[in-house]
Amino acid sequence: MDSSMNLEERIRHFSRQYAAVKGEITKDIVGQEEAVDGTLIAMIAGGNVLLEGVPGTGKTRLVRSVARTLDLMFSRIQFTPDLMPADVTGANIIEKDEKGNNKQRFVGGPIFSNIVLADEINRATPKTQSALLEAMQEHRVTAGGGTRTLMEPFFVLATQNPIEQDGTYMLPEAQMDRFMFKLFMTFPTEEELCRIVRLTQDTQEERSERIMNGEELLAMRETAKEIPVIDEVVAYAARLVASTHPELDGASETVKKELRFGASPRAVQALIYGARIQALIEGRYNVSYDDIDALACPALRHRVKLTYDALMRGRTPDQVITALIGELRAERGSKRTKAAKTEGAEIRENLTGAVFANQKLPQFPIVRLGHFIPQKVSPVIMKNLH
């Protein structure tokens, strides 16, 4: 991305680049729009993704297509019960030097790549799963007696099969929390199944073409950091995450009844950073409440734990999160109505005083800027607001 561009030009360029990348990926992936968008948003943000879906829905193909489109180094790790941590991170090997003496040399594992596919991660033991923790959070690996920094951009996409649970090891909460999003690859519709058949009849290879490289992806990440987020939107994201904790004062009856544990502070970070990118995708340079709501389920569904009663009633994390969003919207609407009534009373009082004093009437904007920014606003409207 050209550094000489101003912010508005970079925003338009960001939106065009994203649309081009997504367009190439859709040459290989039929449907699955939420999974594609979530994966790209997480990659731009520098996060990781946990992808869940039944076999054959395109999880591996999605990762290969992304790596091909972004011209990034790709490696795949097939997680099995006998996989060891050194198989992931690498290890020291002994070899002869030119004088015939033994010496140790570190050989990096498949984790030393730009995009790492951890296929069926829940089939490996917790010991091996933990080999990814440092890499996912700090983008570095401690192995072979030293700490080595991973190349950027670095992205882990882990998959798990929700059907077969025999011989699997549930991911611990500490590792689940390191995934920015948990996304679902849903089963295709009949129409999408027909398109998949037609797409794969000629060749199983990906059809996507290179659109950009790692440096351009990192430039998009820097652009996202420049998007302002006003205090009201940050407070709303924090309120949403805090509302998932049944032990806190003010927790709703829904949360007390259906959640055992709430989301961590990383959830707020994921919501805010993801919302910035969501705004840029739509060509906006303000983050709205709707951007937070749109990413709430992917960012929170793997970070909350349902109660036994909720599980028995067939409730899902997404249903509880959606209910919380509804409660917060109603609360926000009530506050806005109350504020509007107070504002209206002030305006009437000022108008009355001005008329009786035979003074020129003041000009009041229809919507105050501070109340308008949390909504989706186009740059043209922003410039015309008083």
Region 11-15 average pLDDT: 86
- Residue 332's CATH number: 1.10.8.80
**77 or 208, which is more confident:** 77
Domain identity same for 215 and 294: no
What residue type is 70 in one-letter code? L
Domain identity same for 316 and 292: yes
Domain identity same for 6 and 132: yes
**Predicted pLDDT of residue 375:** 56
In a domain, 93, yes or no: yes
Region 373-379 average pLDDT: 53
**182 or 210, which is more confident:** 182
The boundaries of the domain holding residue 15 are 1-201+211-220
Region 361-374 average pLDDT: 37
**Predicted pLDDT of residue 376:** 58
User: 371: pLDDT confidence band, cut at 50, 70 and 90?
Assistant: very low
Quick one: what percent of the chain has pLDDT higher than 70? 82
As a 3-state breakdown, the chain gives helix, strand, coil percent values, each rounded to 5, of 50, 15, 35
**Predicted pLDDT of residue 132:** 83
pLDDT at residue 203 is higher than 70 = no
In a domain, 206, yes or no: no
Of 187-196, 205-214, 321-330, 373-382, where does mean pLDDT reach its minimum? 373-382
User: 370: pLDDT confidence band, cut at 50, 70 and 90?
Assistant: very low
pLDDT at residue 140 is higher than 80 = yes
Task: Answer with the one of 193, 220, 247 that is the final residue of a domain.
Answer: 220
pTM for this structure?
0.79
pLDDT at residue 165 is higher than 70 = no
Decide: 75 and 117 in contact? Cβ < 8 Å: yes
Question: What's the domain count of the chain?
Answer: 2
Pairing status of strand 155-160 against strand 115-119: parallel
**Predicted pLDDT of residue 358:** 42
Domain identity same for 59 and 132: yes
In a domain, 182, yes or no: yes
CA distances from 183 to 34, 50, 274, 320 (A): 8, 6, 14, 17
**Predicted pLDDT of residue 340:** 55
At residue 162, φ and ψ (nearest 5 deg) are -80, -10
**333 or 70, which is more confident:** 70
**Predicted pLDDT of residue 240:** 94
**Predicted pLDDT of residue 355:** 42
**Predicted pLDDT of residue 351:** 46
Mean pLDDT over the full length of the chain: 80
Region 103-115 average pLDDT: 86
| pLDDT tens-place string over residues 331-366 | 877 666 665 555 555 555 554 444 434 443 333 333
- Residue 156's CATH number: 3.40.50.300
Domain identity same for 6 and 123: yes
- Neighbouring C-beta atoms of residue 193, cutoff 10 Å: 13
**Predicted pLDDT of residue 266:** 92
Decide: 64 and 243 in contact? Cβ < 8 Å: no
**Predicted pLDDT of residue 367:** 33
Domain identity same for 234 and 367: yes
Region 16-36 average pLDDT: 85
Region 20-35 average pLDDT: 84
Quick one: what percent of the chain has pLDDT higher than 90? 22
In a domain, 29, yes or no: yes
**5 or 141, which is more confident:** 141
User: 173: pLDDT confidence band, cut at 50, 70 and 90?
Assistant: confident
| pLDDT tens-place string over residues 264-297 | 999 999 999 999 999 999 888 889 899 999 999 9
DSSP for 188-251, please give it. PPHHHHHHHHHHHSS-SS--------HHHHHHHHHHHHTS---HHHHHHHHHHHHTT-TTSTT-
Task: Answer with the one of 220, 249, 267 that is the final residue of a domain.
Answer: 220
Give the span between the Cα atoms of 299 and 303, in whole angstroms. Answer: 8
Domain identity same for 245 and 215: no
Q: Which H or E element spans position 133? A: helix 133-138
**Predicted pLDDT of residue 277:** 93
